[in-house]
Amino acid sequence: MVLHHKYEQVFVFDDDTIPHLNFSTLFNKLSDRCRQADALLLGAAINHKSREQWPSGSCFDADSRTYGSFALLVKKSAFVPILDWLRTGEEAPFDTVYGHLRKRGINVRVAYPPFLVIPDVSHPSLVNKY
């Protein structure tokens, strides 16, 4: 659909995404670094033992420990690489697409601080029961 309609960018939100109370204001204040990302995670789960190990800075680059597909802003430049990854038939959580995108030179960044969305964790996850 995004290719057919020639969209320049799209928001993708999971059904259990909770936007920040000031989402619109915060989104409109995003830095140029965020706006330049081909795929921008609007929230993330950073899989490090402590926050000090997180990538630093505003709107940091996603790394191999960055997860969270619950809300994204995806630009046209990432549409085909994402579709190519999906067509491989690899059965893996969508979050693993970020590594594929980075290998193809696609900028994947995380809008932070603060996260603009969080996932609703009030119910069991289908991906990880912990």
- Residue 54 falls inside a structural domain: yes
Whether omega for the bond prior to residue 114 falls within 30 degrees of 0, making it cis, is: yes
**Full residue range of the structural domain in which residue 76 is found:** 9-119
In a domain, 128, yes or no: no
The mean of the pLDDT values for the chain is 89
**4 within a domain of the structure (yes/no):** no
pLDDT, position 122: 81
Q: Would 39 be classed as within a structural domain?
A: yes
Give the global pTM: 0.88
Count the residues in the chain.
130
Whether 38 maps to a domain, the answer reads: yes
What's the CA gap between 61 and 88, in Å, rounded? Answer: 25
Dihedral sign (CA 48, 51, 52, 56): positive
How far is Cα of residue 37 from the mean position of the Cα atoms in its chain? 10
Q: How many domains does the chain have?
A: 1
**Burial (CB count <10 Å: 0-12, 13-18, 19+), residue 62:** buried
Share of the chain above pLDDT 70, in %: 95
Interval 122-126 mean pLDDT: 72
